[in-house]
Structures are given as structure tokens and as C-alpha cells.
Amino acid sequence: MSARNGQEEEDPAATAALPVRAAGTEEAGFAPAGAAAFYAEVALPVPLPDPLLYAVPPGWQGIAVPGVRARVRIGKRRLIGIVVGRRDEPPPGVAVRWLDAVLDREPVLGVDLLALARFTAEYYLAPLGEVLRSMLPADLEPWGDRRVWLTDGGALAPARDELESQVIEALREGGRITVSDLQARLGLPDLDPVLAGLEAAGRIAGEDTRASQGRSPRYVQAVELAPALAAAAGDRAARLAAAGRSVQGLAVVDYLADVGRPATAAEVMAAAGCSAGVVARLVSRGVLRRFTQVERLSLDRHRLPSRAAGPGSAVAAGMPSPPASSASFAPADPPFRLRPDQESAVAAVVDAIASRRFTPFLLHGMTGSGKTEVYLRAAAAALAHGRSAILLVPEIALVPALAREVLERFGERLAILHSGLGMGERNQEWERVRRGEAMVVLGPRSALFAPVADLGLLVVDEEQDPAYKQEITPRYHARDLALVRGRSAGAVTLLVSATPSLESRHNVERGKLGALELTARVGQGALPEGILVDLRQEEGVRRRPGDVHFSTRLRREIEVSLAADEQVILLRNRRGYAPMLLCRACGEAMRCPDCGLPRTYHRRARRLLCHYCGLAINAPEVCPVCLEPALEPIGAGTERVEEDFREIFPGVAVDVLDRDTTRRPGGLAAVLERFERGDTRVLIGTQMVSKGHHFPRVSLTAVLTADTYLSFPDFRAVERTYNLLTQVAGRAGRGDRPGRVVIQTFHPDHYAIQAALTGDDAAFLAEEMRFRRVFHYPPYTRMVQILVRDRKRERAQAGIQELADALVAHPLGRGVRLTGPAPAPFERLRGEWRFQLLARAASFRDLRRLLVEALPKNPPWDLTVDVDPQQLM
Ligand SMILES: [Zn+2]
Ligand SMILES: [Zn+2]
């Protein structure tokens, strides 16, 4: 039985009605007064502010505890919610329905996570039930459930009482069924006593449901020392004799003796630096015993390219790869010595973990300064103290090298949670975490809610990344919640970045975050050389402003790198062929009818695709309005840049990395791997290329237009531009020679571009902080975006005006700075008109109170309240 959280089980068209009705209702499912043992508060994934009350039948006291899932009725719908509290009496004068079923026999959410959910719901003004739903995998099996069946004897012996006979009859019909299932069949709440009696009498047998669930196992070859040798493993001469005087053979024997446990053949070969033949010889000599081991974790399972993949490997061909070679049993040794600045950062974090006091840090160091090594050692230290660690990254698929590293370091004790996993796989990883098998969790923002015990370390890598903000309800920010969870767990919260958010930098200034600085780059200290190309001076730019991607200088720099057999990364933050297909004859721009914005032309697919709502049509040959064959692509996306590149540099192997790549099966891993191996010389991509890849042979990175974000109507536009440019710059010259960065722009004097080019972080920070302070933007204020959407423009506009009036009229409105009402930057999206208000205040507490008191509970239009918004669209 599986429980799909929050999804309707039946009758999706039925309207939501409150289950609490006036007394005297005769409708089925209501509990007569006094019949219930107590009342459970159940938080449901519906847009209601408070949990609903349900009657709990006698005998369920031990089961309907906070943190378990329950199936209930709301109106005509059946929903699954979480029990969050209990009451002895219902409010006077209301009839309360019975709770239909309790799904778990132990809580899926512990006390700590329930508290975090409550905080999240209050802070982000989101319904508690929706917060709880987003904390759990969508299809979690019932927890703590057991499967029971009749033994041979049990089927024959007579029942001792009526209840036993019912149970036995149900098991005769049902075969192997879960206890929850049995309860549902019999309509009886608590069968534990009778089941215990039957089991003690040997009439039924049972097992944990988890024992029989999960994917079919994969197997790997493993070896161990033969028993005789294992007993004498301390004896050097015995080892030498066993190895037959072979140096590699001895290395294998030494390794197994040292680790004192079996190991996969792959692990042994890697450790001893030997071939499979050496291991096979030792097996045939009876020195080693070979056996098959169920593979627990592998890179393949997480669809990450394996380090050893050679040319023509399955991954490169887009095929599933064979079981990876690195299914290891234990953490490998850290690979190298730390620099002094890394060492003191590790020491500070490790001390804080040992102290068991909440300690928040910002670890700041440029790309290549070895931040990852610092937090991986901190995680190892947490484990050594018996505490767990959660490592958050913006997107796992983009950091295969990191995932590989973490897997090699923590092996069996690592759980990777990410969207690429199938439902069953995600459940299984979640289970391993809950059982304490996995104590290190790597994942995107939702991994923040992993049910680890005794959390000691929370890492938020690339903490400035907007991917940490969830853009649907509940609109939480994982970085900020990581601080909240860290506080309640007495853990270290370690924010990590080469370009920290201004919020975090501000928190360092105010002493709310401890500062850990890494000053040097690993290997050698040279910053890349910055080269600014002023596009205004470029020939031909006046004629076709959007079309210049390869300035004279950039072409020359690319030639230099290619001649030196080095690699090049080109950033163009726009996918598709051209942002617009324009009719030169009549001006038709082929806008999306739902969003009002030009659709992006994808030439290879011959489609016009709206990047905001995904609506696509076939690209026409002639203008659909005037019928002239005058359609012209305006501007350039990655696809067109690739085309231009192939024209200018014929015969040079080039690949594209963007969202379109990731949609092709195996596409992302294949592109990254080809580039890592050097099969492709040039990688063209969107901002995805700026994320945490490590390509030592890249000597040149170039930003084709630095101005894409600068003009965007968002107060973080400059910060984003600076971050992107700095990260791209960090990709060049990570090997043994300094790299070059080319930035092409129409705004060569802009402070963000200048600072990124020269690596003058302090200059950028001073100027940007001044701007934020003068114009009252975060981090100097707290901001909430209030958005009203409706298919009718007048209704949306009237709605936002109504809200603005209510906020201004409220006494607390005086301390709040209101901007708008105004059309949102994207006034129309997906067929809806959008109007917004930005509310800013120095104190979040007052701002929140104002919103709670002044905003309508059930408005006739769609209302979104986004606390600490990251994307103002
Ligand atoms: Zn036309
Ligand atoms: Zn659209």
C-alpha cells in the first residue's frame, strides 16, 4: 500500500467543505458526542490556515500521535494529512468527523521537524499542511508497518475468541498483508494485542514491510582474506608468503589486513593499484575468498558519470553505464594536506561541532580555494562525533564531480536525495536516513528536511544561488531555514560561497555569522587575466546590435587557446536559436498568446517556444499575418552561437550545455564527460556552465554579453551579474597556468563589471551596499512581494488596489514602505494578468503582523505572498 501525500484519492471535482459542521448533522462519518477517545488536529495540504479536528476512535491512542499520516475526509474528498496535535474536547456545538485511517505506526516527522514546519508556516505565511507535504517524499511507504501472514499451524488451529477468528479469516483471504491493511479490512483500530498473542502462539508470522520493499538489488564482486590468513594477518612473513612474493599481491593483502573487512574488487584494485588479474591469481591461490555482495550505493544509480569512463563508454553513448566501480565500504582517506587557512577554517567548524552549540558561519573563498575540502572534512568530523551532516547544493546534476567525491569519501554512510531518483529509490534513501544507516545526506533544498538524528552540521554550498528559494507554496528559502534548523539542533550551519549573498555578508558585518575566509587558490595563486571588450566600439555593431557574439579580440583569444591545445568555455545566458522571430515586413513578433512575450525560436527543433509557460508551435515559413517570407531571427541564443562558432572555427569540436541538453536522455552527463576528457574543445552554455565543474584544461572563459541581467527590473540584477561574471572568471586557469577571461559588454564602466574583471570584491560590495541602503532594499530592509493574478485584467487590478488600500489604512501600515500597486515585471504570464505590491520594513515582525491582519483570508482572485522574494517577475 502506498500513500500519496496530499493527492486526492477520489472525486477530485468535489468542492472543499469544512468537516466541522453544526451539531445534529446526520451525515455519515460524524462522531457522536463523547464517542471519541480524543481529537486529533490534522494538517492537510489545502490552502487553509489551520489544521482541522477529527475524532479518534477508542483504542487508537497509541497510534494517532503527532507526526504520523492520517487519511481523512474533507467535504467529499479524501486527503492525507499529518497529525500535529491533540485535544480532549472539540469546540462546543460542532460535530467532528471520525478519522478514517492512520497510515503510519511510527511518526514520519519527528518533534524537531514538526517544529521546523510550524516555524516555516508562520514565517512564510503558508498553510502548515502544505509545508508538511513539501517536507516529505511524495510517495512514502507507511512507516513502522508490518506484514503478517498465517503460519501452517495457524491456519488449522481453532480461534480462541471472536476477534482472533476475525483476524484469521481476514488473513486467510488476504495472504500476506500489512497490519494497516488488516485494520482497514476489519474496521478495528488497534490489533496489536491480538496479533502479539497469535504471534507468540506461533500461529502468525510477521516482518517489517521495509524488508520486502525496494528495488531489485544489483551485485558486485567482493573479496576478503581467507580465514587462515585473516587469523595470521598480523604476521608479516605470512602475508609475504601468501602474496607469493608479488609486490602488487602484497599490496592487496596488506590493504585487506589493514582495513580488517571485506572490500569490493574494485576498491582493492584501486587501493593496491593492480589489475583484476592480480586479484584473480590470489583467489585461485586460496589467499582470498571471492563472494558476491549486494551493491548498496553506486554512482550509476545516481546517474553520475564515473571518473574512470573512457572513450566510447556507455555514458558517453547515452546508455546506462555498468555498475560503477566505486561501491565502497568505508570512507577513503582525504587526498591531500590542507593549507593553513583551510586548516584553521576546519578547526573552527570542528570545535563548534564538538561544543554542541549552534554556530553559524559564512565560508567565503574564491573559486578554486578549496572550500569543498573544508566542509567535507567538517562532515567527517561530525560523523566522528556520532552526529549527522546535511550537505545542500543547488542542483546535483550540475556537480557530478562533487557527488562523486562525497560518495567516495562517505560510501555506505551517504544518502543522495535528488529529483533524478525514481520514487522508490527516493523512498529507500529516505528510509536509510531515518534508520541511521546514512548519516551524511547530499541533496538540493528539500534535503534540508531529511530525518537525520543528532544533526551536527548543515552545509549550504553556493548559498547565494536562487535555487534555494522554492518558487511555489511554501516559498521557503533553504539557506535561511538551514540556520533555523541548525539553531534548534545545536549544530553548525555553514554557508559557503565564492560570491556570498548580500544578506549573508550583512549578517557577517552584524556579527550574526562567523566569518571564515580562504585567501588562496589551490595549486597556485594567480587570478585570471581580465579582458574587457567594449561592444560599442566593435565594427558592425550599429547595424545589428544583437548579432555580434564574436568580437575581433575574442576570436583572437580563442585562436590562442586552441593553438595551445587548451579548452574554452563560452557563456551565453539564453537557450534556443534566437529570443525572437520578427517579421521584417509587418513587425509581427510571434508573441505567446498567454504571456504576451515573444517566443524563442528553436531552429533545430523548428519550434517557437514560450520560455515562460512552455507553449510551443511549429515555426512558420512565412509570416502568419502578412504572408511575406520575411521572418528574421533577432538576437542569439546558445544554438545560434554554436552555429556562428562552427562557421568561424570549422572543424573544432564544440558542445552546448543548457536546459535543452539536459532534456535529452544522458545529455548532461555525456556533454560534461566529453568536455572533461577533452573530446570537445569548446563548451557553449547558459549559466549552467558557471556552476561547480572543475576543468583543469580550460584556459579561456568568455561572457558573450554581460548586459543580459543588468537591465532587468529586479534590485538583485547587479548582484546576479557580478556573481555570474565572477563565477565564470573562476572557471579559467585552474590547472597549472593562469587563465584569461573575456567580458563583452555595452556597459564597460559599470561597477559590477569592473569589479568582476579586476577581482575587486570589496569595491563591488561597497558600491552595491550603498545602493541598497539608499534605496531601502534588502539586506537593509525586509521585503515581501504581494502578487494578485487573474484571467481578467480589471479584477486583478481592482484586487491589488483593494490590498494596497487595506495595508495603508491599517495602523501598522505606517512603518511599512509600499511600492505600487503596479503591473508586475511580467504583466501577463500563462494567461493571467499580474499586479504587484512590494512591502518593505525595517522590522519583519511588524511587517508580518500587518500582513496577517490586513490581507484577506479568502480573496476572489489568486493571491501570492512571497516573503523574502528572490525573483521579482
Ligand atoms: Zn509579417
Ligand atoms: Zn507563454
Tens digit of pLDDT for each residue in 593-640?
Answer: 888 788 999 998 899 998 877 888 999 999 999 999 989 888 888 999
Dig out the grid coordinates for 381 from the structure.
568530523
pLDDT of res. 293: 54
Q: Of 139-143, 381-385, 737-741, 787-791, which range is least confident? A: 139-143
Tell me the CA–centroid distance for residue 591 and ligand 2, in Å.
Answer: 8
Mean pLDDT score, 417-432: 76
Q: Using the CB atoms, write b or e for 231-269: b if 16+ within 10 Å.
A: eebeeeebbeebbeeeebbbbbbbbbbeeeebbbbbbbb
Tell me the CA–centroid distance for residue 716 and ligand 2, in Å.
Answer: 24
The ligand whose atoms approach the alpha carbon of 587 most closely is 1
pLDDT of res. 692: 59
Tell me the CA–centroid distance for residue 608 and ligand 1, in Å.
Answer: 16
Distance from C-alpha of 42 to C-alpha of 537, rounded to nearest angstrom: 65
The ligand whose atoms approach the alpha carbon of 627 most closely is 1
Distance from C-alpha of 565 to C-alpha of 770, rounded to nearest angstrom: 44
Tell me the CA–centroid distance for residue 582 and ligand 1, in Å.
Answer: 8
Q: Of 121-125, 213-217, 564-568, which range is least confident? A: 213-217
Tell me the CA–centroid distance for residue 46 and ligand 2, in Å.
Answer: 27
The ligand whose atoms approach the alpha carbon of 595 most closely is 2
Tell me the CA–centroid distance for residue 626 and ligand 1, in Å.
Answer: 4
Cis peptide bond N-terminal to 579, omega within 30: no
Tell me the CA–centroid distance for residue 621 and ligand 1, in Å.
Answer: 11
Q: Between 315 and 580, where is the model more confident? A: 580
Nearest in space to 687 (alpha carbons), one of 573, 549, 600, 611: 573
pLDDT of res. 545: 55
Tell me the CA–centroid distance for residue 614 and ligand 1, in Å.
Answer: 24
Tell me the CA–centroid distance for residue 580 and ligand 1, in Å.
Answer: 13
Tell me the CA–centroid distance for residue 826 and ligand 2, in Å.
Answer: 11
Tell me the CA–centroid distance for residue 831 and ligand 2, in Å.
Answer: 8
CA dihedral 509, 510, 512, 518 (to 10 degrees): 10
Tell me the CA–centroid distance for residue 389 and ligand 2, in Å.
Answer: 41
Tell me the CA–centroid distance for residue 629 and ligand 1, in Å.
Answer: 8
The ligand whose atoms approach the alpha carbon of 588 most closely is 1
Tell me the CA–centroid distance for residue 643 and ligand 1, in Å.
Answer: 26
Tell me the CA–centroid distance for residue 613 and ligand 2, in Å.
Answer: 4
Tell me the CA–centroid distance for residue 604 and ligand 1, in Å.
Answer: 22
Tens digit of pLDDT for each residue in 447-497?
Answer: 999 999 999 999 999 999 999 999 888 999 999 999 999 999 999 999 999
Distance from C-alpha of 326 to C-alpha of 815, rounded to nearest angstrom: 58
The ligand whose atoms approach the alpha carbon of 582 most closely is 1
Give yes or no for residue 866 having a pLDDT over 80: yes
Contact between residue 552 and residue 538 where contact means Cβ atoms under 8 Å apart: yes
Tell me the CA–centroid distance for residue 595 and ligand 2, in Å.
Answer: 4
Give yes or no for residue 212 having a pLDDT over 60: no
pLDDT of res. 671: 85
Distance from C-alpha of 505 to C-alpha of 511, rounded to nearest angstrom: 10
pLDDT of res. 23: 35
Alpha helices in 3-158 (DSSP H): 111-123, 128-135, 152-156
Query: What Å distances lie between residue 702 and 398, 498, 557, 707, 719, CA to CA?
Result: 20, 19, 9, 13, 19
The ligand whose atoms approach the alpha carbon of 622 most closely is 1
Nearest in space to 410 (alpha carbons), one of 346, 325, 494, 329: 329
Dig out the grid coordinates for 774 from the structure.
539608499
Tell me the CA–centroid distance for residue 609 and ligand 2, in Å.
Answer: 8
Tell me the CA–centroid distance for residue 627 and ligand 1, in Å.
Answer: 6
Give yes or no for residue 436 having a pLDDT over 80: yes
Give yes or no for residue 712 having a pLDDT over 80: no
Query: H or E segment at 294?
Result: strand 288-295
Mean pLDDT score, 783-808: 92
Tell me the CA–centroid distance for residue 7 and ligand 1, in Å.
Answer: 47
Tell me the CA–centroid distance for residue 611 and ligand 1, in Å.
Answer: 22
CA angle 538/542/543 to nearest 5° reads 115
How many CB atoms are located within 10 Å of the residue 115 CB? 14
Tell me the CA–centroid distance for residue 547 and ligand 1, in Å.
Answer: 21
**How many CA within 13 A on the CB side of residue 820?**
26
Tell me the CA–centroid distance for residue 581 and ligand 1, in Å.
Answer: 11
Query: What Å distances lie between residue 522 and 372, 527, 601, CA to CA?
Result: 11, 11, 42
Question: Exposed/middle/buried for 71, CB within 10 Å: 0-12, 13-18, 19+?
Answer: middle
Tell me the CA–centroid distance for residue 585 and ligand 1, in Å.
Answer: 5
Tell me the CA–centroid distance for residue 676 and ligand 2, in Å.
Answer: 36
pLDDT of res. 335: 52
Q: Which residues, 6+ apart, have CB-to-CB distance to 563 below 8 Å?
A: none
Tell me the CA–centroid distance for residue 548 and ligand 1, in Å.
Answer: 25
The ligand whose atoms approach the alpha carbon of 829 most closely is 2
Tell me the CA–centroid distance for residue 669 and ligand 2, in Å.
Answer: 29
Q: Between 10 and 587, where is the model more confident? A: 587
Tell me the CA–centroid distance for residue 832 and ligand 2, in Å.
Answer: 10
Alpha helices in 711-830 (DSSP H): 717-730, 751-758, 761-774, 793-809
Mean pLDDT score, 11-25: 34
Tell me the CA–centroid distance for residue 687 and ligand 2, in Å.
Answer: 22
Q: At what angle do helices 793-809 and 844-854 cross, to 10 degrees?
A: 120
Tell me the CA–centroid distance for residue 829 and ligand 2, in Å.
Answer: 6
The ligand whose atoms approach the alpha carbon of 596 most closely is 2
Tell me the CA–centroid distance for residue 830 and ligand 2, in Å.
Answer: 5
Tell me the CA–centroid distance for residue 586 and ligand 1, in Å.
Answer: 4
Distance from C-alpha of 182 to C-alpha of 204, rounded to nearest angstrom: 13
Tens digit of pLDDT for each residue in 835-850?
Answer: 999 999 988 988 999 9
Tens digit of pLDDT for each residue in 796-823?
Answer: 999 999 999 999 998 888 888 888 898 8
Tell me the CA–centroid distance for residue 705 and ligand 1, in Å.
Answer: 29
The ligand whose atoms approach the alpha carbon of 613 most closely is 2
Question: In whole numbers, what is the pLDDT of the chain averaged over residues?
Answer: 81
Mean pLDDT score, 243-268: 80
pLDDT of res. 235: 77
Tell me the CA–centroid distance for residue 125 and ligand 2, in Å.
Answer: 28
The ligand whose atoms approach the alpha carbon of 626 most closely is 1
Q: Which residues, 6+ apart, have CB-to-CB distance to 840 below 8 Å?
A: 776, 777, 778, 781, 782, 783, 784, 816, 817, 819, 847
Tell me the CA–centroid distance for residue 245 and ligand 1, in Å.
Answer: 83
pLDDT of res. 349: 96
Tell me the CA–centroid distance for residue 126 and ligand 2, in Å.
Answer: 27
Distance from C-alpha of 801 to C-alpha of 792, rounded to nearest angstrom: 15
pLDDT of res. 538: 78
Query: What Å distances lie between residue 822 and 120, 166, 299, CA to CA?
Result: 28, 66, 49
Give yes or no for residue 1 having a pLDDT over 50: no
CA Rg, the chain, in Å?
31
Tell me the CA–centroid distance for residue 707 and ligand 2, in Å.
Answer: 24
Tell me the CA–centroid distance for residue 596 and ligand 2, in Å.
Answer: 7
How many CB atoms are located within 10 Å of the residue 665 CB? 12
- What are residue 516's DSSP bridge partners? 363
DSSP state letters, 112-141: HHHHHHHHHHHHTT--HHHHHHHHS-TTPP
Tell me the CA–centroid distance for residue 598 and ligand 2, in Å.
Answer: 9
Tell me the CA–centroid distance for residue 474 and ligand 2, in Å.
Answer: 24
Dig out the grid coordinates for 710 from the structure.
543588468
3-state SS, residue 433: helix
Q: Of 18-27, 55-64, 282-291, 653-662, which range is least confident? A: 18-27
Q: Between 844 and 217, where is the model more confident? A: 844
How many CB atoms are located within 10 Å of the residue 728 CB? 26
Tell me the CA–centroid distance for residue 601 and ligand 1, in Å.
Answer: 16
The ligand whose atoms approach the alpha carbon of 598 most closely is 2
Contact between residue 376 and residue 331 where contact means Cβ atoms under 8 Å apart: no
Q: Which residues, 6+ apart, have CB-to-CB distance to 601 below 8 Å?
A: 576, 577, 578, 579, 580, 581, 608, 619, 633
Q: Where are the beta strands (DSSP E) in 46-90?
A: 52-56, 69-74, 77-87
What pTM was estimated for this model as a whole?
Answer: 0.76
The ligand whose atoms approach the alpha carbon of 599 most closely is 2
Tens digit of pLDDT for each residue in 292-323?
Answer: 554 544 444 444 444 433 333 333 333 333 33
Contact between residue 444 and residue 453 where contact means Cβ atoms under 8 Å apart: no
How many CB atoms are located within 10 Å of the residue 464 CB? 25
Q: Between 200 and 765, where is the model more confident? A: 765
The ligand whose atoms approach the alpha carbon of 583 most closely is 1
The ligand whose atoms approach the alpha carbon of 585 most closely is 1
Nearest in space to 136 (alpha carbons), one of 450, 454, 458, 434: 450
pLDDT of res. 237: 79
Q: Given the C-alpha cell 488536529, which residue does it identify?
A: 41
Contact between residue 829 and residue 595 where contact means Cβ atoms under 8 Å apart: yes
Tell me the CA–centroid distance for residue 430 and ligand 2, in Å.
Answer: 36
CA angle 309/567/302 to nearest 5° reads 30
The ligand whose atoms approach the alpha carbon of 586 most closely is 1
Tell me the CA–centroid distance for residue 615 and ligand 2, in Å.
Answer: 6
Query: What Å distances lie between residue 54 and 35, 89, 95, 154, 190, CA to CA?
Result: 12, 11, 9, 37, 17
Nearest in space to 287 (alpha carbons), one of 239, 328, 325, 327: 239
Tell me the CA–centroid distance for residue 827 and ligand 1, in Å.
Answer: 25
Tell me the CA–centroid distance for residue 638 and ligand 2, in Å.
Answer: 20
Tell me the CA–centroid distance for residue 614 and ligand 2, in Å.
Answer: 6
The ligand whose atoms approach the alpha carbon of 594 most closely is 2
